Structure 1
Amino acid sequence: MSHPVRTVADRPRALFRAPRGRRPFLVGLLAVALVTTGATSGCGQESADADAGKLRVGYQRFGGLSLVKARGEAPDADWSLFESGPALTEALKAGAIDIGQVGEAPPIFAAAGKIKFRIIGTSEPVPQGEAVLVKESKGFRTFADLKGRTVALNKGSNVNWLLVRLLEAHRMTLADINVKYLKPAEARPAFDNDQVDAWIIWDPYFALAEQPGVKILADATGLASNREYILVSPEALEQKPDQIRTFLETYRSTTDWGIANPQERTSILAPELKIDESTTARALARSAKPLAPVGPEIGAELQSIADGFTELKLIPGTVDMVSLVDDQFSGVFR
């Protein structure tokens, strides 16, 4: 059986990405960009007496690792639940976990914050797994219609990247909208009660909010890859390489099983996610993707985003993302 889930405090940051050579209108994002690691909230506490020989795994409830945990496929792992990717990278920094799974923005800001890690795996793109939601009654037809309106999103998550890409696509700047940074648990009631005009959110919160009268204004298709990334600490790479390889093999086989058996996957994950099976099935159908190896193209993809952050002075100095990509386990994912 898996160990009880713990939480570690979240330190969210504003993550605004823009590829190399963005047009000058994106400079309007600078006013809110240089946000350092902030106050923590709702993450797993470090277990002082944890068995040092165990592989300590950080996961997010809807990430691909949830299925591994829910099926009990890694009984010797020590599991910690995190609300977001930035929270998980803070745990890597603190030495509280060995390996974990995040979205595509947290690794860049973690690297800028001098957190030590390597990127050893990824997923196929998941652009339909995040979206801008609005009420049909408000009559919005495109993202441009949100000019002057209030948009809610979680600070320091993948949806910050989607926001920047949407602004660029519609030749807008951050000054054209009123951004309200809210965690999902805060944003949902604000959206339901019309305290915000739009909510940029990811699955499964996305699927949970798809109620009658709610419209998908845009998703990340053509704008953001929205991949998952597997990060590992350098110490774990040195001290636990065999455990890491075994765990990744389990992760890969379990993910493949879930994709091949969607009904069984839904039945197993719905209780873990604490949501009904129909909502779970809808979210998984668009957001659960196969794992993929890392290589030069993945490093280049992350580097282009990091370079854009640097050019807009959203991170201090240059970050070398290519050097953080480690393909020694890529054979597991092929």
Structure 2
Amino acid sequence: MPTSRRRLLTGTLAAAFLAGCGEEGAGTSAAPGKLRIGYQRFGGLSLSKARGDAPGAEWSLFESGPALTEALKAGAIDIGQVGEAPPIFAAAGKIDFKIIGTSEPVPQGEAVLVKSAKGFKSFADLKGKTVALNKGSNVNWLLVKLLEQSGLAIDDINVKYLKPAEGRPAFDNDQVDAWIIWDPYFALAEQPGVQILADATNLANNREYILAAPDAVTGKADLISEFLGRYRATTDWGIANADERAKILAPELKIDEPTTKRALARSAKPLAPVTADVGAELQTIADGFTKLGLIPVEVDMKARIDEQFNEAFL
């Protein structure tokens, strides 16, 4: 990668570390006995919130993982849920956190969308085209793997970094040729004339990760453990009761019920404990980002794994 291009990518991706704070809540202080939870609109925590799994908790909504990790840095939340790339970018940004839980792989939950009329048959056909994605989010790793699979370099495409709310109109209005996005934005964009060019199957696991502030891990361990047990039970209930889950979440997500159900069918997976293997998986992604110059420093993701809450996921 040319030095100038690498500096540009590093600078723009580093901006993800400075993404804004949450859309609601996200205060900078809370009572010692109150759990402060950061969530994204579609993450598994949305169902937990809707079902009242944490009475008295303070919930803060974030548009994306990078914004949530910035709230961790600011001391605004105790725990939160993100995809696989935000923890790596956060670690490179010197944000202190522990990884205390994960999910089973969700490869079908993120995809490359294109307009059918443009005639693209594979990701390789996007050489010289404009591809939009959210910087610092899980789709960053999918982009890396798609480039690798297609024999392309980052310079072979024009990467345009857009937040989900910006990406959808740009895609709809043909300002970009492809959009790499995750559910529920993925499901919402599945309109007539839109084609799924590829998803993350056999490329990226696209797990969800539960992050926690170090002081919460030590000072609110009982609260976290109790909540994680409820969260796991609610997730299992939702998978076993898909219709009821969609009815509860559709109004919470402000999405129609059929779209909610379609997105959840491919993106809602059981929670899982963190292990050394999970740490090694994240380390591989981090090393890939470092090699490409997408993060400015090497990071040790294995050291972020904290297994003390694993019993809650069993």
Q: TM-score, normalised by structure 2?
A: 0.94
What is the rounded CA distance, in whole Å, between the counterparts of 2:137 and 2:78 in structure 1?
21
Alignment: residue pair count: 310
Q: Quick check: 1:59–1:65 contact (8 Å CA) kept in 2?
A: yes
Q: Distance in 2 between matches of 1:216 and 1:278?
A: 18
Match of 2:8 in 1: 32
1:78 pairs with 2:58: yes
Partner of residue 229 from structure 2, selected from 249, 257, 261: 249
Q: Distance in 1 between the 2:267 and 2:290 partners?
A: 30
What secondary structure sits across from 2:15 in the alignment? coil
| Alignment partner, residue 132 of structure 1 | 112
Secondary structure of the 2:114 match is strand
Match of 2:255 in 1: 275
Q: Which has the higher helix share?
A: 2
**Contact 1:26 / 1:173 at 8 angstroms: preserved in 2?**
no
Q: What SS does structure 1 have at the residue aligned with 2:181?
A: strand
Tell me how far 1:312 sits from its aligned partner: 3.2
What is the CA-CA distance between 1:41 and the residue it aligns to? Answer: 4.2
For 1:107 and 1:217, how far apart are their aligned partners in 2?
27
| Aligned equivalent of 2:126, options 124, 134, 146 | 146
Aligned to 1:81, the other structure's residue is in SS state strand
1:227 matched to 2:210 = no
The yes-or-no answer on 1:304 pairing with 2:304 is no
What pairs with 1:133-282 in structure 2 (closer than 5 Å)?
133-282=113-262
1:43 to 22, 33, 46: 22
Aligned counterparts of 1:303 and 1:265: Cα–Cα separation in 2? 34
Tell me the secondary structure at the aligned position of residue 180 of structure 1: strand
- Counterpart-to-counterpart distance in 2, 1:215 and 1:229: 28
Residue 59 of structure 1 aligns with which residue? Answer: 39
* Distance in 1 between residues matched to 2:281 and 2:196, nearest whole Å: 27
* C-alpha distance in structure 1 between counterparts of 2:195 and 2:229, whole Å: 39
**Offset, 1:311:** 2.9
Task: Tell whether the 8 Å contact from 1:135 to 1:214 is kept in structure 2 after alignment.
Answer: yes
Task: Give me the CA root mean square deviation.
Answer: 1.8
TM norm structure 1: 0.88
Structure 2 residues not aligned, in runs of 5+: none
Gaps of 5+ in 1: 1-24
Deviations 1:69-108 (A, max 9, x none): 0111211211000111111111111110000101011111
Q: Deviations over 1:43-62 (max 9, x none)?
A: 34642564342000000010
SS in 2 for 1:328: helix
CA contact (8 A) 2:20 2:70 kept: no
Distance in 2 (CA, whole Å) between partners of 1:301 and 1:40 is: 25
Distance 1:305 1:193, change over 3 A: same
CA contact (8 A) 2:132 2:167 kept: yes
Corresponding residue of 1:9: none
